[in-house]
Amino acid sequence: MNNTIVTNILRFVGLVLLQGLVFKNIGVGWETFPYLHIIVFPIFILLLPLRTPKTLVIFLGFVIGLSVDFLYDTLGVHASAAVFTGFVRSLVLRMFEPRGGYNMAYSPTIARMGLGWFLQYSSILMFTHIFFYYSVEAFTFVYIVDILIKTFVSFFASMVFIMIFQLLLNQNE
């Protein structure tokens, strides 16, 4: 089996388990500050190889989102946000495409694309993912203030863990 496929399968399983078994429990018991939720599983979608077809990215987003939904006991909320992230990914990649284009054999990691590029790319996708997630969860913009507070708090906490994940593993595929 191809090394990239094995790496992505292991990343998929690891992120689903990390999200469902560790990060799900962070913030439990903080009823006075219910805004902190660390969401790291979208890094799987962000780090898929650039040559991955858009339909496959969207499908894999659905599968990882549904897996997290299964562990969270939510009905498709994570799946819908992950599908949205998979859809928007190609647009964001097009926005930040270098003059010479991408080397389609690689994944968009810090090691390949640089810290500044990766921070912009991951920040836009994570912010839209988290905002979409909380919007679908509330299912009304009556709670827009709560949605925005949850989005900003969760975005910053999630980005810290995503940057740690990227810097520690320093993936070069």
Q: How far apart are CA 24 and CA 140, in angstroms?
A: 23
When divided into structural domains, the chain yields a total of 1
Q: How confident is the model at residue 3 (pLDDT cuts 50, 70, 90)?
A: confident
Q: Phi and psi at residue 109, in whole multiples of 5°?
A: -110, 170
pLDDT, one tens digit per residue, over 106-136 is 899 998 898 999 999 999 999 999 999 999 9
Residue 50 lies in a domain: yes
Residue 114 lies in a domain: yes
Question: Which domain covers residue 163, as residue numbers?
Answer: 3-24+36-169
Percent of the chain residues topping a pLDDT of 90: 65
CA-only gyration radius of the chain, Å: 16
Residue 30 lies in a domain: no
Contact status, residue 58 vs residue 83, Cβ threshold 8 Å: yes
